[in-house]
Structure 1
Amino acid sequence: RRSFILLHSYILVKKMVKRGDHMSASRMLLRVAKSISKFPSHMVPILTSTVITCQRAGLKPSAFEYGSMLMRPEFRQQMDPKFKRKIEQIVRRPNRGEEMAEDMTKCPISGIPIPMTQLECPTTKDALPMCVITGRHMVIEDWCLCPASRMPALYTEYVTYLQKEYEEGTANEKIDAATEASIKQQQQSSTEPLVYGLDPVCGKLVLSSQLAKVSTEEALAYIKQYNMAESDEKKDEKGGKKS
């Protein structure tokens, strides 16, 4: 699961940057950069993206931290010449101010406001499910499941995501004649505008009419099951190490 979280966070970056959301992209890259040893053959490109994106988002202390890492002899010669001078300037002229605080949303377990991308409950230390649209932790009141992957997503963010996908025509190639006719029929009978796009995990077509919030009880049950699976994974890892 940890590998999926890191890989999916990195995959989300491309679309976030394309849509000009450098702050969200920088938060995802910082998550990946903190576990950079998991990507031994991609360290330099990931760290480079982290520095450049954090600088654009105004997270200058983080840009300096990972820029300094890139200045190490083992990384410096591998840097893309296109970014090398820019990163050298960031390191030579560090920002001494404090890092911009991350926006907070309620922990789905404790209800305590925590940074949006924090994936652990500060009270119970349980793992928090990640939204596959934003990479943030889930929020009880805004919880839905992706119709394609059945993974959790923030409902309002998924609707916004599909709106952007629809405007960009991302899913047009996936629509056959029968699907197009069904969409038109739904658009005529629906009071809400119907939009669609490709889900970010499986790349399958998802219609906004397929999205629905789950109940508080269903969300809490998901969290419980999620942490039971997490516990089983850790036991398997320990068993594998012993053998």
Structure 2
Amino acid sequence: MKIALFIPCFIDAFYPDVGMATLELLERLGCDVEYPLDQTCCGQPMGNSGCEKDAAATENLFVRNFSGYDYIVAPSGSCVHHVRDHLTAPRQDAATLAVRANTYELVEFIHDVLKVREFPWAEFPHKVGLHNSCGTLRGLRTASMSELREPSFSKPLALLKNVKGIEVISPDRPDECCGFGGTFCVTEEPVSARMGFDKVRDHKRNGAEYIVSADSSCLMHQKGCADRLGLGLKFIHIAQILNGVRS
């Protein structure tokens, strides 16, 4: 398989350790990974703000960078959701459609494509609360949604439960939005902050030491909320836990 690694711009700028953990984890799992050097943003910020046409140059560059690969893998559910379902500015030719169809979020790629469940090198002796971002939950369907009253399933939990020493706690409202929402946290700051405060308090109340997610953007927002409240919570991307980080 020809696999390309897509590292979203905010991870590249603020959380490079997440990008490196993703690459190391994929290589541990036997993948031959390439990193297209000209990659930039996927166009999500402009698309989320209603500026689809203004995203054309960025999205066309994304298609050029990632054409010809069997899979494109990224440690960001929201970016993958944008590429797969909203990358509409480029001409929808065979190359664009293939890139959109072949782009996967890291957890679903490990769970659905590689079908890996064991991580013998991973040990994380902490209580963690799982946050499923709205993009991964409702866009990529990596877990069940409580509002649908459907049978319960969770791809990230299926992976995390095989990490030695980990204890996953359940918040009272496990699939409620944290309030980040991309540009929503800028245009609706008071509402966004209150939603974030409610989210981190829920995790803290139920005993979490860490909040883990497949989206660093949500973790960034929640960390700001938790720090302002003085809750002492820590935040970590699921790639780092599966790759063997201890704390």
TM-score by length of 1: 0.24
TM-score by length of 2: 0.24
Bigger Rg over Cα: 1
